[in-house]
Structure 1
Amino acid sequence: MSLTSAVLRRPAAIAILAAGVLSACSILPRAEPVELYLLPATAAPAAEAPKLDISLRVARPESSLHLAGQRIVVLPEGNRVSIYKGASWSDPAPVLVRNRVFDAFRADGRISALSSDDKALYADLELDSDLRAFQSEYRQGVPEAVIRLEARLVQPASQRIIASRRFEVRQPASGTQVDEVVRAFGTAGDALAAQLVSWTIEQATAQRGR
């Protein structure tokens, strides 16, 4: 075979190989379609109270591996961990919690100098936490959204913990559909954020009075 005929045949061989690859790919299972869900929120009224002359950084909670992703976690029975098929959060659970808490502080208005751990800005205090639960759990056949958070109020300059508290919120869903469970998460997130705002301001006020 001449060099010229070998060169001419090479594109045809490549085309045949490509066609075979495409044919093989077509028999692979298609990716599961996933619906993205935002964490629902209700607007909170601003507090009618004096503003605190402090700056606060809201940090993203640490979490275990099964809570660090975007899938909506469910415990259908006992300690068995599963996920809702075809459904996902718009962001990882720790980010959703941080953003909900940050928005609650901003809506409250008593601490105007706010930042998050996305930017390394100076802050008098930092709200640090561990996310222990962000999941749906079944009780007597009814799912409920469960959020459990271990919070710490820290002075970044000294790394001293000035206060800590464990928060847990449970909100039954109105049904077993994913949309209904997501709404329960939204209500639970609002309740958790409101408790965190009140506790943080109480602790910060007491700290400044010492």
Structure 2
Amino acid sequence: MIRTYRLAGAIVLAASLSLLSACSILPKPEQVDVYWLPYGQAPVAASRSAPVSWSLRLDKPMASNALNSQNIAVVPEGNLISNYKGARWSDTAPVLLRNRLLEAFLQDGRIQGLSTDDSNLQADYELGGELLAFQTRYNGKSPEVLIQYNARLVRSSDQRVVASRRFEARQPLSNPMVPGVVAGFGQATDTLMPQVVQWVMKQGQAQR
């Protein structure tokens, strides 16, 4: 009986040592930092004009698989697209852009009937389009943030495109490390937002 106990104990000890050994050789999970899209220095100012009578729904722009993700994309050279290791956006790039547009229109204040495609509420107009670029690009040795947004304003009643325009923002980067890159995205989107808001307001009012 004593020998049986000793044998069982030896088996348990061996199994425990084997388990510890296996745990020690397993790869450690990657440490990932998650970033919000920050604000730069130029938020959209509140408009002094009277509110408009029409409503607007903001749709997530369509994007390629490389951009429709939480990766922070970078084009180091030519046609090669990669991403920053150990860093992610808090949402996919199309969602980040749509949410920043929502904040910009709310700050402007002239459209009180605002919604997004998540709620799927009826609206007079829909703002959608394609996100063509949302990445850092190395132009020689000088990195820059590049955002390209092909916007379309659609009348909801008949799904007719009433206006379209391509917007682009470039932000040179003095700091190529991830925190500096993230700050550059914030500055580039701050450049883009007033342009999109003013264009939509002008086109929407022209249709009324």
TM-score, normalised via structure 1 length: 0.87
**Kindly tell me: are residues 21 and 159 of structure 1, through their superposed partners in 2, closer, same or farther at Cα, counting changes over 3 Å?**
farther
Does 144-153 or 17-26 show the bigger shift? Answer: 17-26
Say how many residue pairs are matched: 199
Query: What is residue 152 of structure 1 aligned with on the other side?
Result: 152
CA distance in 2, matches of 1:200, 1:47: 14
Query: What is residue 41 of structure 1 aligned with on the other side?
Result: 39
Mapped contact 2:44–2:193 kept (Cα < 8 A): no
**Kindly tell me: are residues 27 and 48 of structure 1, through their superposed partners in 2, closer, same or farther at Cα, counting changes over 3 Å?**
same
Query: What is residue 202 of structure 1 aligned with on the other side?
Result: 202
Query: What is residue 4 of structure 2 aligned with on the other side?
Result: none
**Kindly tell me: are residues 16 and 193 of structure 1, through their superposed partners in 2, closer, same or farther at Cα, counting changes over 3 Å?**
farther
CA distance in 1, matches of 2:178, 2:90: 14
SS at the partner of 2:57?
A: strand
TM-fit CA distance, 1:32: 1.3
- Mapped pair 1:89 → 2:89: yes
TM-fit CA distance, 1:117: 0.7
Mapped contact 1:73–1:134 kept (Cα < 8 A): yes
TM-fit CA distance, 1:113: 0.8
TM-score, normalised via structure 2 length: 0.88
SS at the partner of 1:30?
A: coil
Unaligned runs of 5+ in 1: 1-8
Identity over aligned pairs, percent = 49
CA distance in 2, matches of 1:13, 1:205: 81
TM-fit CA distance, 1:82: 1.0
TM-fit CA distance, 1:49: 1.1
Moved over 2 A (4+): 12-26
RMSD (Å) for aligned C-alpha atoms: 2.1
SS at the partner of 2:66?
A: helix
CA distance in 2, matches of 1:89, 1:13: 48
**Kindly tell me: are residues 204 and 27 of structure 1, through their superposed partners in 2, closer, same or farther at Cα, counting changes over 3 Å?**
same
- 1:99-127 deviation per Cα after TM superposition (whole angstroms, max 9, x unaligned): 00110000001111100111011100000
